[in-house]
């Protein structure tokens, strides 16, 4: 038996769009305090899994429990109280273009708390400094920031309500290697200082190597295998073999 505490439990998940079955019988545990990297070929349903866990998409079958609460059968009120305990960073930050960076970070506070405007503002600026943005970024609009800064702003918004879990959808996609490494370092720092649990969809072998405690490989409509980076080298699946032993893996310092 595993002594670690699973704070996300997915069992028998089935998702489909029309006739297209994305997941069938998918099981996954995410443990408190870990950084889990979710990988898989294009279209294997990494983003759909993330969206099913955070309730943006209703699965056809299965169970999703977060902090022990069955999210699919919970009342709206209970679900909302659990949702306050996580933050989500979508690809490219998914910021509102008509709001300043600070106002973007304030959105979850406006929606979920009755904090005063002054407190919201101060907390938003604190989150923005935590993710390494300079003070003058707060009053800018997303379009005035670089891609890397937008991602940091998206992360600050995900941290707005002091979450216990953050979901990151391809956080380093589109960043140059130096920017990606800096973002990885930021995630590690936040994970260790805040005790966060991180669920991260990624294609980035360097990120997997640098920051993930465990990796879940999506294949055959389910989580084909989970394990450490070292475990991945022996996975008997064509995609996993290609991915973990290919030229990019070798360039990242592992594989054959």
Which residues of this chain interact with ligand ATP, rule CB under 6 A? 17, 22, 40, 42-48
| Helix, strand, or coil (residue 248) | helix
Nearest distance in Å: CB 105, ligand ATP: 26
Nearest distance in Å: CB 173, ligand ATP: 9
* CB nearer to ligand ATP: pick between 123 and 235: 235
> Within 10 Å of residue 73's Cβ, how many Cβ atoms?
11
Angle at 187 between CA 172 and CA 182, to 5 degrees: 55
Estimate to the nearest angstrom the gap between the alpha carbon of 116 and the chain centroid.
29
* CB nearer to ligand ATP: pick between 50 and 137: 50
**Could you tell me if 40 and 218 are in contact, meaning their C-beta atoms sit under 8 angstroms apart?**
yes
**Could you tell me if 147 and 175 are in contact, meaning their C-beta atoms sit under 8 angstroms apart?**
yes
* CB nearer to ligand ATP: pick between 46 and 102: 46
Q: Is the torsion defined by CA of 88, 204, 131, 35 positive or negative?
A: positive
Q: What is the DSSP letter of 238?
A: H
Distance CA 255, CA 233 (A): 7
* CB nearer to ligand ATP: pick between 42 and 193: 42
* CB nearer to ligand ATP: pick between 22 and 155: 22
Distance CA 131, CA 127 (A): 6
Nearest distance in Å: CB 69, ligand ATP: 24
Distance CA 2, CA 34 (A): 14
* CB nearer to ligand ATP: pick between 44 and 191: 44
Nearest distance in Å: CB 202, ligand ATP: 9
Nearest distance in Å: CB 54, ligand ATP: 13
Nearest distance in Å: CB 169, ligand ATP: 8
**Could you tell me if 131 and 152 are in contact, meaning their C-beta atoms sit under 8 angstroms apart?**
yes
């Amino acid at each position: 038996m595993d002594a670690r505490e699973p704070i996300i439990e997915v069992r028998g998940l089935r998702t489909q769009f029309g006739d297209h079955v994305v997941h069938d019988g998918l099981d996954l545990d995410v443990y408190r305090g870990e950084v889990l990297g979710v990988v898989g070929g294009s279209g294997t349903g990494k983003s759909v899994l993330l969206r099913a866990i955070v309730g943006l998409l209703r699965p056809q079958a299965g169970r999703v429990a977060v902090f022990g609460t069955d999210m699919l059968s919970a009342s709206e009120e209970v679900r909302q109280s659990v949702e306050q305990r996580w933050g989500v960073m979508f690809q490219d930050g998914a910021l509102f273009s008509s709001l300043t960076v600070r106002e973007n970070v304030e959105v979850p506070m406006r929606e979920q708390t009755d904090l005063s405007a002054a407190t919201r503002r101060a907390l938003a600026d604190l989150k923005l400094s935590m993710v390494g943005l300079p003070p003058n970024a707060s009053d800018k609009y997303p379009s005035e920031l670089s891609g890397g800064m937008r991602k940091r702003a998206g992360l600050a918004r995900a941290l707005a309500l002091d979450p216990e879990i953050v979901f990151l959808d391809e956080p380093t996609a589109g960043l140059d290697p130096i920017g990606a490494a800096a973002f990885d370092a930021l995630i590690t720092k936040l994970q260790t200082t805040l005790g966060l649990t991180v669920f991260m969809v990624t294609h980035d072998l360097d990120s997997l190597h640098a920051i993930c405690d465990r990796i879940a490989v999506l294949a055959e409509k389910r989580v084909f295998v989970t394990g450490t980076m070292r475990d991945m080298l022996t996975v008997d699946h064509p995609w996993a073999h290609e991915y973990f032993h290919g030229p990019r893996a070798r360039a990242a310092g592992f594989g054959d």
